Amino acid sequence: MSRRTLVLAPGLPFPWFSGLDLRVWQNVRALAKLGPVGVLGICANDPRADNPPPGVALWRTMTDPALAYPPPTDRKIAARAWPLRPGVG
């Protein structure tokens, strides 16, 4: 039985522009061997959104500017605390 996996990343990792992109892309490729994998880039308006790579079932970005990475300066503390508060947001 294959597993479906969703990878959340600051931006779409392919083609990579940084070491972070490369590491995320390596993880996506490894997960694709186990089953369908999707990638959601948190960064809005990523220019790589129009060119999905082969072998990736879902290739999307967030479109709400309020959810862009990094968050606006006045929301940085709240955004960093979000993963620690499971019932909020």
Please report, for residues 2, 5, 31, 49, the alpha-carbon distance to residue 87 in angstroms, rounded to integers and kept in the order given: 30, 22, 28, 30
Residues 82/75, Cβ–Cβ less than 8 Å = no
Residue 11 within any structural domain of the chain: yes
Domain of residue 58: give its range: 5-84
Q: Give tens-digit pLDDT for 55-87.
A: 898 888 877 555 555 555 555 555 555 555 554
Q: Say what the pTM is.
A: 0.66
Residue 66 within any structural domain of the chain: yes
Q: Give tens-digit pLDDT for 1-58.
A: 678 899 999 888 998 888 999 999 999 999 999 999 999 888 766 778 888 899 898 8
Residue 89 within any structural domain of the chain: no
Domain count, the chain: 1
